[in-house]
Amino acid sequence: MSALTAPSPVLDYTADLLWRLAEADVARALAEDVGAGDLTAALVPAGKIARARILAREAAIICGAPWAEAALRQAAPGAQWKWLVAEGQRCQPDQAVLELTGPARGLLTAERTVLNFLQLLSAVATRTADYVAAIAEVSGTSAKVCARVVDTRKTLPGLRLAQKYAVHCGGGWNHRIGLYDAVLIKENHIAAAGGVTEVLAQVRATASVAAAARFIEIEVETLAQLEEALQAGATMVLLDNMDLPTLRDAVRINAGRAILEVSGGVNMGTVREIAATGVDRISIGALTKDVKAVDFSMRFLDL
């Protein structure tokens, strides 16, 4: 593995940041769901107070509490809640994870938005945790060092920060947030710029780009491109769709000079062997782009 320092996590997930993210995401979600008003909830007597529980129908890492709470604040003012399973902790099938008390109309209006965020973000966190666990005891060069599981930009439009938070909650690491905070030079950039050496030189010559980027990474598809990138001073290299023998050769050629990241062909059946090659990071689009939602339901009590 590389002796270089990997890029730090993109975001500092403070309570204030999560509150602001959740309030904005939930406002959009409720606007598309409620519109001018909840016609069905209006059939419930005004002023009626209800108690409810949210149940997890399957094992999962709980994630999304700030979004669930924002939905309750916005759609059910006056509601109170108690988490029975803390954010980032694992729940079991049919376990109650959240208790609610508040206006029945508001709880009914908030129900789907609360569940939508919980099912998506818990799914991302759970899948991430599964990948992290799969490589927890694997290392190419040291028993104490493992590759990091990293996300990508393959997220649901408008929910990138929420999903990246869920990756963090599951024990993974964030890659760049978008096109504005880091440089990732890919195949088409290399072709347009005239080659690996040329595009890396262009980055260094463009002061505004170099100053704004948290890191500069270049994607390579062959060992020859890797050697050229290292000769040109690359400090972070993405190894794209390489088989295991080629990855081992890449680690040997690199000899700790650059941070090596792997992408392509990563799944639960391959990630352990990939980590064992000695690479530093494994980026996995499946963490966020094709997640199967965790099954949650809300049940009213004492009605």
Active site residues: 112, 154, 186, 219, 240
Confidence band for 209, pLDDT divided at 50, 70 and 90? confident
Q: Are 273 and 244 in contact (CB under 8 A)?
A: yes
Taking Cα atoms as reference points, which of 67, 97, 100, 94 lies closest to residue 81?
Answer: 100
Tens digit of pLDDT for each residue in 77-97? Answer: 999 999 999 999 999 999 999
Tens digit of pLDDT for each residue in 84-134? Answer: 999 999 999 999 999 999 999 999 999 999 999 999 999 999 999 999 999
Is the pLDDT confidence value at 144 over 50? no
- Write out the H or E segment, with its range, that includes residue 168: helix 160-169
Q: What is the pLDDT of residue 284?
A: 97
Q: Report phi then psi at 200, rounded to 5.
A: -65, -35
Number of H helices, E strands in the chain: 10, 12
For the chain, which residues make up each domain, given as ranges? Answer: 15-128+292-301, 132-287
Q: What is the pTM of this model?
A: 0.93
3-state secondary structure at position 218: strand
- Write out the H or E segment, with its range, that includes residue 210: helix 207-212
* Residue list, annotated binding site for substrate: 112, 152-154, 176, 186, 219, 240, 263-265, 284-286
Q: Which CATH entry fits the domain spanning 132-287: 2.40.10.220, 2.60.40.10, 3.30.1550.10, 3.20.20.70? A: 3.20.20.70
Contacts of 83 (CB under 8 A, 6+ apart): 62, 65, 97, 98
Averaged pLDDT for residues 155-173? 96
Confidence band for 8, pLDDT divided at 50, 70 and 90? low
CATH topology of domain 15-128+292-301: Aldehyde Oxidoreductase; domain 3 (3.90.1170)
Cβ atoms within 10 Å of 56's Cβ, excluding its own: 25
* Average predicted confidence (pLDDT) for the chain: 93
Tens digit of pLDDT for each residue in 29-73? Answer: 999 999 999 999 999 999 999 999 999 999 999 999 999 999 999
